[in-house]
Amino acid sequence: MRLDALLAIGTDPELTATVRHIVDAAAELTGARYAVVETGRCDAPVLHVPVEGYGRLHLAGGRPSPALDVLAARAARALAGARLHEAARQRERWIEGAAAVTNALLGEGSSADPLMTVADRARLLADAAAGVVLQPTPEGGMEIVAASTHDDPGDIVGATIRPGSAVLAQLLGGEPVFIDDSATDPRMTTHVRHRFGPSMMLPLQADGRLIGTLALPRRREGRPYTDTEKHLAVQFASQAAVTLLLADARHRRARLAVYEDRDRIARDLHDLVIQRLFATGMMLQATGRRAGGAGEASEAPNTPSGDARARQAIDTAVAELEATVQQIRTAIFDLQQPPAEPPSGLRARLLREAAATLGTQPSVRFTGPVDALIPDHLAPTLLAALRKALDGRTRADIEVIADGRHGTRLVVDSTVVWEAPAE
């Protein structure tokens, strides 16, 4: 039975199982009440057996046995093998984690938030309490811009390392920083440092560009990071930085393609659709004039003729065509605006304000050079009037008229809701 206990040591490559086999075998060989493998110091009155390269085996109430030397030697070899196996498994997990980040950010149709993806995956791999990404601020400090935690990360995002902090020079220089206890380390200055213990702060740097810093703090009095974990985390951060650069380049290419496509659509609308609509309107106006002349010569006064009715219908059609042309011009202007960027001109701000208030893309017509004729000091008043007029609505027909002689008018559903004289 004792031989079986010795032989069981090393049969399982898992570190935890190996330690369990060692303490079970030691307790059986010596008759101890229990056995403990420790890497630190134990002052209790127990039997101590050194285990080379790991620590000591403590046996409470046990008696010396010649087999203990054999057990210690076998335990040392088994623990060394289990450690190698554990390191290989850790390495495999980190490599798979880096590959998962690459697939998430560079896969087809990916819409994941790049920094949040890196922070979340790194937190899980490092068994950390939080995974955060810091980026440089204009003032010369660093700010947490993405955070993944077990709890609500709301109060972590926005935390800053102030300019002049001792750790800042290392971070901005792209150096990894390893901290034993974030709560007591004087280099840490964020308001959330008291929550955390051991921490790694790793540069996200690629192609000579510092994207930011990946920080992986564990909880207070948490397990310190091993040298293997530090090495693997640095490699992960380096790979993640390359992936972030590639994702950014891909995003820029996609934006450029959108710009080019929008420009093409705008050109087609202007060169083909508007010109044809304008020509059709001219033809209808000419037809209306001819129909009106014929009706006046052939009909008695005050009697609506068929030609008069036809002319009225033509006039209505012409007005509809003009309104359609204005809407298409507004659409062309929309297409020419950079996507996902704040608007600059008054026309763009009016479109954005109307869409935000209504919750849908509105129908807005602009008559006259709005950006050129409406002074900057009138813009806030006009925008406020638009918000008030659209409050509580889900749909509206909006027209903004800028005339150098008659001033500016805001018309909502055929009602003038705001006007200002020409300046």
Contact 107, 99 (CB under 8 A): no
Ordered alpha helix ranges (H), 32-173: 67-106, 114-126, 168-172
pLDDT of residue 416 exceeding 90: yes
CA 15 – CA 6 distance, rounded (Å) = 16
Chain position carrying tokens 């806030």: 380
Per the structure block, which two tokens stand in for 61? 């109430």
Classified as helix, coil or strand, 327 is helix
Contact 241, 272 (CB under 8 A): no
pLDDT of residue 158: 84
| Residue-by-residue DSSP string for 4-51 | HHHHHTTSS-SHHHHHHHHHHHHHHHHT-SEEEEESS---SS-EEEEE
Question: Which has the minimum average pLDDT: 5-14, 134-143, 255-264, 324-333?
Answer: 5-14
C-alpha 226 chain-centroid distance: 30
pLDDT of residue 120: 92
CA 187 – CA 247 distance, rounded (Å) = 33
Return the half-sphere exposure (C-beta side, CA atoms, 13 A cut-off) of residue 80: 9
247 vs 315, higher pLDDT: 247
Mean pLDDT, the chain, integer = 77
31 vs 20, higher pLDDT: 20
CA 229 – CA 93 distance, rounded (Å) = 11
pLDDT of residue 305 exceeding 60: no
* Cβ neighbours of residue 345 closer than 8 Å, sequence gap 6 or more: 371
13 vs 243, higher pLDDT: 243
> pLDDT tens digits, residue range 106-136?
877 666 789 999 999 999 999 999 999 999 8
Over residues 378-395, mean pLDDT:
87
266 vs 115, higher pLDDT: 115
Strands in 363-367's sheet, in edge-to-edge order, are 363-367, 397-403, 407-412, 415-420
Give the number of other CB atoms < 10 A from CB of residue 362.
22
Per the structure block, which two tokens stand in for 82? 């289990």
pLDDT of residue 397: 87
pLDDT band, residue 198 (cuts 50/70/90) = very high
Return the half-sphere exposure (C-beta side, CA atoms, 13 A cut-off) of residue 367: 15
> pLDDT tens digits, residue range 22-78?
666 666 665 555 566 655 444 443 444 444 444 455 444 445 556 666 666 776 777
Over residues 384-392, mean pLDDT:
88
Strands in 34-38's sheet, in edge-to-edge order, are 34-38, 55-60, 47-51
pLDDT of residue 205 exceeding 70: yes
